[in-house]
Amino acid sequence: MELREKKIIKTSLIGILVNILLVAFKAFVGVLAKSTAVIMDAINNFADALSSLVTIVGTKLAHKKPDKKHPYGYGNLEHLTSIVVAVIVLVAGISASVESFNKIIHPEETDYKWYSFVIIVGAIIGKLLLGLYTRHQGKKYNSDALKASGTDAFLDSLVSISTLIGAILMISFHWNVEGYLGILIACLIVKSGVEILIDSIGEIIGKRIPREISVGVKRTINEFDEVHGAYDLLLNRYGPEKIVGSVHIEVDDDMKATEIHKLSQNIALRIYQDFGIVLTVGIYATNNNNPFYLEIKSFVRDIIKDDKDVLQMHGFFFDLENKYISFDLVISFDAKDSNAIIEEVENKCKERYPLYQFVINTDTDISD
Residue-wise pLDDT for 59-68, tens only, equals: 787 778 888 8
Of residues 24 and 39, more confidently modeled: 24
256-266 pLDDT per residue, tens: 999 999 999 99
298-330 pLDDT per residue, tens: 999 999 988 888 988 888 888 888 888 999 999
- Predicted confidence at residue 126, as pLDDT, reads 86
- Predicted confidence at residue 247, as pLDDT, reads 93
- Across 102-111, 249-258, 351-360, least confident range: 102-111
- Predicted confidence at residue 288, as pLDDT, reads 74
- Predicted confidence at residue 63, as pLDDT, reads 76
Separation between Cα atoms, residue 138 and residue 132, nearest integer Å: 10
Per DSSP bridges, beta strands 357-364 and 324-331 are parallel
pLDDT band at 343 (very low <50, low <70, confident <90, very high): very high
CATH number of 211-364: 3.30.70.1350
pLDDT band at 112 (very low <50, low <70, confident <90, very high): low
Q: Is the pLDDT of residue 37 over 70?
A: no
In terms of average pLDDT, the best of 1-5, 27-31, 52-56, 219-223 is: 219-223
pLDDT band at 267 (very low <50, low <70, confident <90, very high): very high
pLDDT band at 36 (very low <50, low <70, confident <90, very high): low
Q: Enumerate the domain spans of the chain.
A: 2-205, 211-364
Strands (E), the chain: 229-237, 243-252, 277-286, 310-319, 324-331, 357-364
Question: What is residue 308's three-state secondary structure?
Answer: coil
118-166 pLDDT per residue, tens: 878 888 888 888 888 988 888 888 777 788 778 878 877 877 787 778 7
- Predicted confidence at residue 240, as pLDDT, reads 67
Q: Which CATH class is domain 2-205?
A: mainly alpha
Residue percentage of the chain with pLDDT more than 70:
94
When pLDDT is averaged across residues 103-114 and rounded to a whole number, the result is: 72
Separation between Cα atoms, residue 158 and residue 156, nearest integer Å: 5
- Predicted confidence at residue 2, as pLDDT, reads 63
Residue 248 has phi, psi (to 5 degrees) of -110, 135
- Predicted confidence at residue 155, as pLDDT, reads 75
- Predicted confidence at residue 354, as pLDDT, reads 92
- Predicted confidence at residue 256, as pLDDT, reads 93
- Predicted confidence at residue 366, as pLDDT, reads 66
- Predicted confidence at residue 329, as pLDDT, reads 92
CB 227 within 8 A of CB 314: no
Q: What residues have CB less than 8 Å from 308, skipping those under 6 apart?
A: 332
pLDDT band at 281 (very low <50, low <70, confident <90, very high): very high
Average pLDDT, the chain: 83
Long-range CB contacts (within 8 A, 24+) of 313-322: 314/229, 314/231, 314/232, 314/248, 314/250, 314/284, 315/231, 315/232, 315/248, 315/250, 315/284, 315/361, 316/284, 316/286, 317/284, 317/285, 318/287, 318/290, 318/292, 318/293, 320/290, 320/292
To the nearest 10°, the Cα dihedral for 217, 222, 227, 232? 40
